[in-house]
Amino acid sequence: MIGLKKSAVFRIIFIFLFVFCLSAHAQDKKKILLLNSYHQGLSWTDNIMIGIKESLKPLENSIDYYVEYMDTKRFYGEKYFNKIFDLLKQKYHGIKFDLIIVSDNDALLFTMKHYNELFYGVPVVFCGINNFKDSLIEKYRKWFTGVAEETDVEGTIDIALKLHPDTKRVYIINDITTTGLAMKRTLFEIFPKFADKVKFIILENPDMKELQKKVETIPPKSIILLLLVNRDRTGNFFAYEESLDLLYPHTNSPIYSVWDFYLGRGIVGGKLTSAFLQGKKAGELAMQILQGKSPSEIPVIKESPNEFMFDYNELKRFHVSLNKLPKESRVINLPESFWVKYRKTLISITLIFIGLSLVIVVLSINISKRKKVEKELRLSEEKYRDLYDNAPDMYHSVDKNGIIIECNETEAKMLGYRKEEIIGKPITYFMTEESRKAQEEFFPNIGKYSFIQVERDFVRKDGSVFTAALNVYVEVDEKGNFVKTKTIGRDITYRKKIEEELRKSKEALRKLSVYLQNVREKERKEIAREIHDEMGQSLTALKLSLSWIRKRIEDEFLQEKFDETLSIVNALIKQVQNISNRLRPSLIDHLTLEDAIMWQVKEFERNTSIRCSVEISEDSVKLARNISLNIFRIFQEALTNVARHANATLVNIKMFRSNGSVLLIIKDNGMGIPEEKIKSPESFGLMAMRERAYSINATFDIRRIPEGGTEVILSVPLRENE
């Protein structure tokens, strides 16, 4: 009896200790309430739960999950929410949660409304929240953080239109649940961005049977954007997948969406929001809080983790190439390639084959390698020698002493010698006296170059001379010491002859141009003098005669006619003077270049109403008459170009002395001369200005300036006595 009593006591003590340990272990576990807006079995909610638990998996043995489903897709209303409040208040009375995770808007709004009564002081992590703004949780930010759900409707429509460029209409299917109404607000914000591309038709809160008939009648060149059909107009509830399953057989139009739970059931794809990723992100934030971080220290994730996702079967159905998809896209249902399907078998067979092949190859190589290498070397040498000797250019190599150590047959033929007569002689032996001196000065410093181009005159065996352009490559040893040259030479005698003839022809043309300009200036001077002297004097005499007669006529009518005639004669005298000055300004012959420029500026301003700013330095220089005349003509042509083409309102003119030259700068604020006009062979005015500059040994430059306008710069070198 005593033994039985002792045994019973030990059992009671053991049971007590076991229960105590279990209780202590239970108290160590973190209590997490998962409050979902929708019901269990809804793929969106189920995937959020999977994502949350995936992130919290490292702590799964130390967490007690309490899961609630508000089921607001099927049941809604203030009375219903009050019943949920009463249930949770009774159910969790006395339980202190370490963390609450809520999914979607209804659960978040419910939690905030009853936070002080049910969960005060408990950290809250939310996810799947549409149209999130900081003001939504401002009052509770100390305890709340989470992940916003931003569906990318704009991105989905944009990629759908790119994949179906002939689309004319976009049919949008949506319900009037909380999420549906939030989506509707987003739609109205983005419609204007596509207004000029497609027409939008919204099918909102339809009856499912009517909707099935409607999608059957959607015309070609249309796409469907499926948002939500969880409840129809008659109050029937449909799971996400169920609504798509009911619609898909009734339409031939491509369907796009913004949620991944539709993928694989009939939509082509889109920029999709993933419930799993929403839950995973929320779980990561929950992990930080469980490790001691305050929610207020954790920023709300406002950029929803969305991805481009597509169904290969639907892409193929609507003939959309994979190449058109964004590079970062994820595609499901891709057919397995032969390699993927039989990868392990193929690798095993390949490894066995490689092993056997290696044994055979190694044995074969050891037998044939030497013969093959010897044959290749012989063929390579013959090929190289053939190319080297029969190349169109002359090849030779010179050692550090300037001795030819190698040359090809082409060079031997060019010089008229046999190769044996060339090799061993100094390269200078075959050069003219002038080229020999140049080579002797150049060659001691050849080690400074890796490559250089020179021209040398060579003397053939028959005494004739030809010019060769030499491309000299310098070879050095590992210490950088010169070893030899590798030179490629080409006979350029004919090219030099053509260049000389072109130079002489160009020089002759320039001289002819200068001569024609001088003749034209002389003719202008003669014509101007004759107009001024002959016509001017005759008109002056006519004016005097008319004035004399006018004074002796008493008839008032005749006096008026004589006055009109005298006015015409005065105008003719003025025109004659202007024509004479334009042909040959007398200021050029009698005064200075500066005076002529100032006169031309005044005429330019009077005729064009373009304002001119003139700066002429006081240290004026007296130039030869023909130089002054050419400078003046260039100046005239520059102003003419401004008036005709620049559309300017201001011209800045500067003339000053600098570094032994006279500089004339004309700069306008117009549209600027196009680069093609500067280079065009049909810009005869610019060509004449350049030729005039050349005739007085001056430099002429014209360019378009970055800030707008054109700048002409003429630099005239001064002679020693100027």
In this prediction, residue 201 has a pLDDT band, given cuts at 50, 70 and 90, of very high
pLDDT at position 36 over 80? yes
- Statement: 394-491 belongs to CATH 1.10.3720.10: no
Reply yes or no on whether the pLDDT at 576 is more than 60. yes
Q: Are 225 and 195 in contact (CB under 8 A)?
A: no
Q: What is the pTM of this model?
A: 0.43
Percent residues over pLDDT 90 in the chain: 39
| Residue pair 111/35 in contact by the 8 Å Cβ criterion | yes
pLDDT tens by residue, 75-96: 888 999 999 999 999 999 889 9
Confidence of residue 23 (pLDDT cuts 50, 70, 90): very low
The answer to which of 33-47, 196-210, 566-580 has the lowest mean pLDDT is 566-580
- pLDDT, the chain, mean: 84
The H-assigned helical ranges of 96-166 are 104-113, 153-163
Residue with tokens 């039985």: 4
User: Contact, 238 vs 261, CB < 8 A?
Assistant: no
Tell me the CATH class for 587-722.
Answer: alpha beta
Structural domain boundaries in the chain: 24-148, 153-274+302-332, 394-491, 496-584, 587-722
pLDDT at 310: 95
How far is the C-alpha of 327 from the C-alpha of 231, rounded, in Å?
A: 36
The pLDDT value given to residue 509: 65
**C-alpha distances out from residue 140 to 123, 143, 199, 668, Å:** 10, 6, 42, 66
pLDDT digits 0-9 by tens, 485-538: 989 988 888 888 888 778 777 676 666 666 666 666 667 666 765 665 566 667
Helix (H, G, I), strand (E, B), or coil: what is residue 600? helix
The whole-number pLDDT of residue 1 equals 44
- The matching CATH number, chosen from 3.40.50.2300, 3.40.190.10, 3.40.50.300, 3.40.50.720, for 153-274+302-332 is 3.40.50.2300
Which DSSP string do the residues of 334-384 spell out, in sequence order?
PPPPHHHHTHHHHHHHHHHHHHHHHHHHHHHHHHHHHHHHHHHHHHHHHHH
pLDDT one-digit tens code per residue, 419-433? 898 999 999 999 999
CA atoms of 388 and 169, how far apart (whole Å): 71
Task: Identify the CATH number of the domain defined by range 24-148.
Answer: 3.40.50.2300
pLDDT at 326: 93
Per-residue pLDDT tens digits for 699-712: 999 999 988 899 99
Q: What is the pLDDT of residues 331-349, one digit of tens each?
A: 989 887 676 667 788 888 8
Average pLDDT, stretch 218-235? 89
Q: Assess contact for 454 and 442: CB atoms under 8 A.
A: yes
Q: What is the spatial order of strands in the sheet that 30-36 belongs to?
A: 63-69, 30-36, 99-103, 124-129, 144-148
User: Which amino acid belongs to residue 205?
Assistant: N
Q: Are 307 and 271 in contact (CB under 8 A)?
A: yes
Between the CA of residue 304 and those of 42, 130, 141, 279, what are the distances in Å? Answer: 21, 10, 19, 11
DSSP string, 400-431: TTSBEEEE-HHHHHHHTS-HHHHTTSBGGGGB
pLDDT score of 497: 81
Q: Same CATH fold, 153-274+302-332 and 24-148? A: yes
Residue predicted with more confidence, 639 or 507: 639
What is the amino acid identity at position 283? G
